[in-house]
Amino acid sequence: MAVVGRPNVGKSTLVNALVGRKVTIVSDKPQTTRRDIRAVLSTDDYQAVFTDTPGFHKPRTLLGTRLNELVSEATQGVDVVVQVVDAQAGVGRGDAFVFERQVAKVAGAKLCAVNKLDAVRNHEEVPQLQAAGDLGPWDEIVPVSAKTGRGLGVLLDLVVASLPEGPAYYPADEDADQPLEVRLAEIVREKALAVTRQEVPHSIAVVVEELEVEDGLTKVRAYLIVERDSQKGIVIGKGGETLKTVGSRAREEIELVLGGKVFLDLRVKVLKEWQRDPKALQRLGF
């Protein structure tokens, strides 16, 4: 099942809420999700696999083009597609663009999740639900709030009812398909997104270069990649304070994920205009 939508409508928050744990990073910055991440929900009765996708948009860089290609690949042959729209920002042309380019071609069930209803007044709900209905022919439109949990049970029931019978694709104890290095890199990037501003968050990539366990201590060395020297200074911060904040917050979450003590070594590198460089994108896994 693919979860699609324009940037910043709450796809990752919704996926995390549906599976009941944090599988994909979230932030208030557009284009936070840069990979098609599969989150797995297994119960005694079913296994549902939710593919969280990057925000579908009109790209300005080669990275943006490749992220759009990930969305297209994620919707191929799925049994269910859920398009998430943002009731707070308003349903509009960007959502219609997503429906036309991604949802309309899906042969499986088409569901629309009208998200962030916790942030709108009651009298504003119906117009947003109507605007969502005008996007195209849906099997169901579901008002939800990924933040409060409203409507998530209904949405999940509709998803499960649309799934065909078949074998489980993942072991029951597996909750995501990300390699550990990628998962840890994403945690670091999430913390960096939270403390940087303006154009810097869009220019940050993270790569884990070293991961080893020695005497019960996990050592992680990761590089934050930026595009310009000025951005490097912002990420490091005065006296290194910004980088220390990123490292402290990331280490705390990584220790929860790994269940043990972690030594996290963060460094910052400049890779000029990496979002537009095919070789750089390949090196960074895009």
* Residue-wise pLDDT tens digits, 226-271: 999 999 999 999 999 999 999 999 999 999 999 999 999 999 999 9
User: Which architecture does CATH list for 2-162?
Assistant: 3-Layer(aba) Sandwich (3.40)
Average pLDDT over residues 209-230: 95
What's residue 118's pLDDT?
Answer: 94
* Structural domain boundaries in the chain: 2-162, 180-283
Give 49's strand partners: 40
Average pLDDT over residues 53-73: 92
What's residue 197's pLDDT?
Answer: 86
Tell whether the model's pLDDT for residue 104 goes beyond 90: yes
**CATH number at 180-283:** 3.30.300.20
Domain 2-162 and domain 180-283 have a common topology? no
* Residue-wise pLDDT tens digits, 151-190: 999 999 999 999 999 999 999 888 888 899 999 999 999 9
* Residue-wise pLDDT tens digits, 118-139: 999 888 999 999 999 999 999 9
CA pair distance 161, 232, nearest whole angstrom: 49
Closest CA to 65 of 271, 285, 275: 275
Instruction: Count the alpha carbons within 13 Å of 71 in the hemisphere toward its beta carbon.
Output: 31
CA pair distance 189, 31, nearest whole angstrom: 12
Read off φ and ψ for residue 264, nearest 5 degrees.
-110, 120
Tell whether the model's pLDDT for residue 9 goes beyond 90: yes
Tell whether the model's pLDDT for residue 199 goes beyond 90: no
What's residue 274's pLDDT?
Answer: 96
